[in-house]
Structure 1
Amino acid sequence: MNKIYTLTTLLIFAFVINSNAQDDAAELAKKLANPIASLISVPLQNNTDYGIGEFNGSRNTLNIQPVIPVSVSKNLNMITRVVLPVITQYNITAPGEKQSGLGDAVMSAFFSPKNSEKLTWGVGPALLLPIGTNDFLTTKKFGMGPTVVALKQINGWTMGGLVNQIWSVVGNEDRPDVSQMFVQPFIVYNWKSGAGIGANMEWTQNWKASTSTLWLNPTISAVTSIGKQKTQFAIGPRLNLAAPDKGKADWGWRAVVVFLFPK
């Protein structure tokens, strides 16, 4: 609970700071709502979930998600994004059992036009990297597939969605093959102060096992400066709407800190 209080205090602190650069904060918030904006950022997204499965387990997942845009040509950007999970879980596989370590990483590269007026979009490859350090936290399969994102921004609103589909191509023959789709629709409203409110849904479909996992994640957020470091804070509950048999969580929460490096 101390983590919740600390992060909540930081978020409130971000809201009440009287910044002289509201326009700058608003522009940064707008770019952060866009997964393929030309902005270097390092989000640290922490998800803590409770009451999981038949053993009433818990899981903490810290997703380290650096985003780095690269100019490919006068009209084209490539936005690279890595999701590296650091996982600690209790009472998931059996009562009294604990697993911790790295999970498998997903690396994406979106090729996006620099000057898209009506609709911002990007498309490219997604790779599943089997770097998990515990047998329960890895597929032991290398996978690949397409990913696409599209969004519209108008009058403070950002609405869009991200999709990827990954199939395993090589790996441990004793492990099940991977055929998994991830769908993430999102909506965010940002005020000129840089504060925002929004939500996304995260739907993971395992085609091989015929299972679906669905989360709803509403958040409030704020952009501020800590010294010279531009930073965004966000926090909110996590609602597990669907999960495989005996794997559903009772409740959870999400806290995010994003370090920004404007060009």
Structure 2
Amino acid sequence: MFKKGLFKSAVLVIIIFTTVPGIVHAQEKPATPAAPSDEELKRANDPMASVKAVNIHNYIVSKLYGLPDQQANQLIVRYSQPIGPVLLRASMPFVTSSASGVGPTSGLGDFNLFAIYTLPTKTGNKFGIGPNLTAPTGTRDLGSGKWQAGLSFLAFFAKSRLIQFGSLLQWQASFAGDEDRPEISTLNPQVFFIWQIGAGFNLRSTGIWTFNLRNGDYNVPIGLGAGKVIKVGGIVFNIFAEPQFTVLAQGLGQPKFQTFVGFNTQF
């Protein structure tokens, strides 16, 4: 039942967010999709793009190590806002988990905010550094129960018209919160690779690796998916789906297979 619910919710998200733009921007003469420029194609997949953006991301976890009857779903609503050379990014997750014979538990996850400063360079590549903060907004024990702070580092190589690659590295450690919850220290590298194959289509791999520096648990997924970038009026949309397979894991409840679907909007 829960798997069907996840599938339906994923399909619903994609349908809504692929049809809403045409409705929102409908005028007397409806806007028609236009071919994005090379620069817009690069920016659509740039995690450090200096533009306003609203993203809807959904991780559908259908298999977990050691918990064959459980599934999970994490829907993330994300907003990015540039302020000079600094990019602010706020993320609010909505989490659902379920086990066989037990109704799903849904609620908020932990709110995350980071600010990354783009270092000046003379090339088309980007490098950034900045602080990040996580607030324990999780409900029904779906969050960590801890305040966390740390640093983010990002490198993005996009000089080529066809290939983009790089990594976002985030480290966080807990410093306050529920004393009954375990202390946290995590390292999360996200390695991404984008290959533009023409007509706005691209192949992609953007798995987020997780290393628990407290207990030694880890999870290393590799993704292989596809996306499409379109432009309607002055807005660039990026729609994608990316199955992710875990190749290395340690610890109970680590994702074994998940599907990452998303809808990005850049203004």
Q: Is the shorter-chain TM-score for this pair beyond 0.5, marking a shared fold? A: yes
Stretches of structure 2 lacking an aligned partner (at least 5 in a row): 1-6, 20-31
Instruction: Tell me which residue corresponds to 1:32.
Output: 44
Inter-CA distance 70–11: structure 2 relative to 1 (3 Å threshold): closer
SS in 1 for 2:266: strand
The letter of the residue matching 1:190 is Q
CA distance in 1, matches of 2:18, 2:143: 37
AA of the residue aligned to 1:27: E
2:92 to 76, 81, 84: 84
Moved over 3 A (4+): 1-13, 113-116, 225-230, 242-246
- Please state if 1:147 is matched with 2:152: yes
**Structure 1 pair 11–81 and aligned structure 2 pair: CA distance change class (3 A):** closer
1:256 aligns with 2:262: yes
> Which range moves more in the overlay, 2-11 or 212-221?
2-11
Deviation at 1:65, TM superposition (A): 1.6
Aligned counterparts of 2:256 and 2:182: Cα–Cα separation in 1? 28
Which amino acid is the alignment partner of residue 187 of structure 1?
Answer: F
What value does the CA root-mean-square deviation take over the aligned residues? 2.7
What is the CA deviation profile of residues 143-183 of structure 1, one whole-angstrom value per residue up to 9, with x for unaligned ones? Answer: 11111101111122111101011111111111111111110
Q: Deviations over 1:229-252 (max 9, x none)?
A: 532110121212334433244532
Q: Distance in 2 between matches of 1:247 and 1:168?
A: 21
User: Cα 1:12–1:96, aligned 2, differ >3 Å: closer, same or farther?
Assistant: closer
2:94 aligned with 1:109: no
* Aligned-partner Cα distance in 2 for 1:56–1:111: 43
State the distance in 1 between where 2:18 and 2:89 align.
29
Offset of residue 8 of structure 1:
7.6
Give the 3-state SS of the residue equivalent to 1:62 in structure 2. Answer: strand
TM-score by length of 1: 0.83
| Segment drifting more, 203-212 vs 223-232 | 223-232
Q: Is the 8 A contact 1:67 1:82 kept in 2?
A: yes
Q: Paired residues, what number?
A: 247
Q: Percent identity?
A: 22
User: What CA deviation, in whole Å up to 9, does each residue of 1:13-43 have, x standing for no partner?
Assistant: 9xxxxx773243x432211221111111111
TM-aligned CA distance change 1:252 to 1:220, over 3 Å: same
How far apart, CA to CA, are the structure 2 residues paired with 1:242 and 1:176? Answer: 24
What is the CA–CA distance in structure 2 between the aligned matches of 1:20 and 1:97, rounded to whole Å?
Answer: 42
When structure 1 is superposed on structure 2, of 112-121 and 139-148 the one drifting more is 112-121
Which runs of structure 2 are paired with 1:125-164 in the superposition (5 Å)? 125-135=131-141, 137-153=142-158, 154-164=160-170
Q: Does 1:21 align with 2:29?
A: no
| 1:60 is aligned to 2:73 | yes
Structure 1 residue identity aligned to 2:257:
W
1:55 deviates by 4.4
Which blocks of at least 5 consecutive residues in structure 1 are unaligned?
Answer: 14-18, 72-76
What amino acid is the match of 2:240? A
Structure 1 counterpart of 2:41, one-letter code = A
